[in-house]
Chain A
Amino acid sequence: MSKVSDAEILELLDRQKCYDVLTRYCRALDRADVELMKSVYWDDAEDEHGVFTGNAQEFAEFIIREIQVWFEVTMHAICNIHMEYYGDTMCTESYLIAYHKVKADKEKVLAVQGPSYWENLSAAGLEAKHHVFFYGGRYIDRLEKRDGEWRIARRQVCMDWNENWPGNTILDEGMFATLTRRGCHGREDSVYKNKP
């Protein structure tokens, strides 16, 4: 086997650091951690998120506030990540599957999922306390290395699909009752205590 060059090792490290940024974003969002989210973007980064388009530091403030207003639970799981390496720039595509549980409030369901969704459910007799959706999309990012550190310089969010249903969560019965460690917004989540 041919010898590995320093350039190849550097690329591996850069890819690993970019992966770390991409997963840190998900933790920041799902735990509503604004400081952590700000740390994944450069000061002049742009986020074209749809619900917000503009400076990413402002987006971080906006989305961390909003996510707690609209959703009881969110989980942003990134799957395949394709990275294209251009030295100090990494162009990435991250496949996303996200679960959202909208707060139990008709006004919020209407604002998030729209009036037709509600009307169709009413017609079918399927109103529920909670409504959820799965979202499939992709983060299309450009990360830049500045002074040895990688962060996102531009993010675009591309939506591929979504599925909206009345929620049917079970928390306190059956096998689920035993799964007592539950995720939450904020520093009380178990992940923050996962230290040596």
Chain B
Amino acid sequence: MVSGSELAELVARQKCYDVLTRYCRALDRADLELMKSVYWHDAIDIHGVFEGNAQEFSAFVIEGIQNWFVLATHNICNVHMEYLDGKMYSESYLISYCQVETSREKVEEVYGPTYLSKININNSGDSKQGFLMGGRYLDQLQQRNGEWKISRREVVMDWNENRPAHPIFDEGMFKSLSRRGCYGPDDSVYANKP
């Protein structure tokens, strides 16, 4: 027989997973209100590019992401959760792919001063750079008034790989895949309602 506390833990795990995936949608669609909704007002985000109050981080990163990246995707894979004393401690594996416009200013801001000299842009056949980053979100989630949100987030980087991008959008089979993701409310996901 399943106990009441086991059921409660299952529900809590599902609600926390929902928060973690909502963060990714908020970031990749540049949805500031959605991102603010995943953090408690006094939450802390130790993100590296920003460390401090998570509501302020939200405003910072939603503006930043549209400035740095042509597109950003944040895929979380395995999510390990530990439920201790009514709090959830989670580790979410992240694989992120982002694309950067090849202007000296943007590339140097994202990749630093030496990357441009290491690649041969003329031979890359494209004017964008792409990178994969692997890392982990280490989170503490708290329940207040029945609702789960992140109270503390730490970002760990494990690896990254940076290369000239070779996207195809207008030729071959890719041409027919005409529904494309974007920043903002025009992305198809916002129209996905019953």
Contacts and interface: CB of A to CB of B under 8 A. Distances in A.
Interface of A: 1-4, 8-9, 11-12, 15, 48-51, 70, 77, 79-84, 86, 89, 91-93, 95, 97, 110-117, 120, 123-124, 133, 136-138, 140-142, 156-165
B171 A117 contact: yes
B123 A82 contact: no
A95 B24 contact: yes
Contact of B73 (A4, A50, A114, A160): A160
Given A80-B21, A113-B168, A163-B166, A4 B11 contact: yes
Contacts of B1: none
Q: Majority SS of interface residues in chain A?
A: strand
A138 B14 CA distance: 21
A12 B14 contact: yes
Interface of B: 4-5, 7-8, 10-11, 14, 18, 20-22, 24-25, 28, 71, 73-77, 86, 95, 97, 99, 123, 125, 130, 146, 165-181, 187-189, 192-194
A163 to B, nearest CB: 6
A132 B41 CA distance: 45
A164 B181 contact: no
A106 to B, nearest CB: 13
